[in-house]
Structure 1
């Protein structure tokens, strides 16, 4: 079966921004990648366990999250030289986990994604995951041509680390730098994406943590949809 052909969006078409993890994909795609990188080597496993005393709390708090994530990526990529080697490992991970990764793509989310593209909207994915990872996963469902803005990585001390985390306010800066400023609709699960959701004329919360629902209701306009697209451990109104 041939891939669907979508209309080329007009420059003035509505801009629709999708988060990736827990929005299009059930889980933390970058976390799954880094776990795979670490688990391939017993020494990396020991290093990650020892470093978790420091890195775990850093990941848990927004101001230090990028450094904590960078620490785990550094452990998982020690010995790689630059982004090209890291992207090759991403492609290897996706190729060897095809079925597992494919099953994590949420059908309701993908149908919403497809409808926006079929309507001629400008659709962009903005994610905290590495962009090569999101693009490789989206290629399973014929959306590899959609622009992806994600966390930038680069070499540091013999490994690869996150040099710019596409997260919170930084995600908005990265979108604007690429010319994506006037957002019609935004979809995300994360409280860290409040800047993105607030910037959209129509924010849609999908698959939020149950404990965050009241916060979203207070922070976003009355009537904002809070939906569940198939993440069983998340909140929101189920969507058929």
Structure 2
């Protein structure tokens, strides 16, 4: 079904929220982008290696994750002075990695995505990646018109940094601010999305880390589906 063939969702249609990384996309799309930004220049690589002593643990720890990610983005974008330039770099990255990026889109996930759109549901993508990145990747499969809520960036100290990380409770706040309150169905792989999954009437865990499966079974309603949509190193029941 082409993009124009999807029905326009009614205001009262069920709201369906998809995470992006490890849900629609096999991997960390934002991490792949930042890696490319840094690898454009040997000096950026050296700076990132030196800074990883501090930034690495910050990224791994939820309360400091936004600052850690911002540090790597700052290194990768030093000399850039605004979001427009950052979005242009994202488009360049996606265009020059088209085949690799397309191969990471998960066919089973996209089929569920299409079914919700064909049913007239209000489909939204909420991701920790920059929204322009998710939109550019979704354009390969004619879904660029789907609303995307993602991590906001802005200029800081001669570069670009994450100013608001679309993650954990903040993801829920950003959804509500955009008028997406009552979530019918939510799809995510991440324990960081527990606020989203718990808020949904019908949570669905997809492609979780194997070590997190027991936790999801414990904290989410009995019978919550825990599925694998094609991420080979992830857990969940295989579909199809």
**TM-score range normalised by the length of the shorter chain:** over 0.9
| SS of match in other structure, 2:5 | coil
Q: Structure 2: how far apart are the matches of 1:119 and 1:70?
A: 38
Q: Which residue of 1 aligns with 2:109?
A: 109
Q: Does 1:24 align with 2:44?
A: no
Cα drift, residue 5 of structure 1:
1.1
Runs of at least 4 residues off by over 3 Å: 1-4
Q: Which residue of 2 aligns with 1:90?
A: 90
Q: Which residue of 1 aligns with 2:204?
A: 204
Cα drift, residue 2 of structure 1:
5.6
Q: Give structure 2 stretches of 5+ with no counterpart.
A: none
Normalising by structure 1, we get a TM-score of 0.99
Pairs within 5 Å for 1:119-158: 119-158=119-158
Q: Which residue of 1 aligns with 2:10?
A: 10
Cα drift, residue 144 of structure 1:
0.3
Q: Structure 2: how far apart are the matches of 1:127 and 1:5?
A: 25
Question: Would the alpha carbon gap of residues 13 and 3 (structure 1) be closer, same or farther in structure 2, given more than 3 Å must change?
Answer: closer
Q: Structure 2: how far apart are the matches of 1:238 and 1:13?
A: 29
Q: Which residue of 1 aligns with 2:182?
A: 182
Q: Structure 2: how far apart are the matches of 1:164 and 1:4?
A: 32
Q: Structure 2: how far apart are the matches of 1:128 and 1:196?
A: 13
| SS of match in other structure, 1:155 | strand
The CA deviation string for residues 71-120 of structure 1, in whole angstroms up to 9 with x for no partner, is: 00000000011100000000000000000000000000000000000000
Q: Give structure 1 stretches of 5+ with no counterpart.
A: none
Cα drift, residue 4 of structure 1:
5.1
Q: Does 1:159 align with 2:164?
A: no
Pairs within 5 Å for 1:188-227: 188-227=188-227
Q: Which residue of 1 aligns with 2:39?
A: 39
Q: Structure 2: how far apart are the matches of 1:142 and 1:219?
A: 35
| SS of match in other structure, 1:162 | strand
Q: Cα RMSD (Å) of the superposition?
A: 0.9
Counting matched residue pairs gives: 240
| 2:2 and 2:142 in contact (8 A); partners too | no
Q: Which residue of 1 aligns with 2:238?
A: 238
Q: Which residue of 1 aligns with 2:100?
A: 100
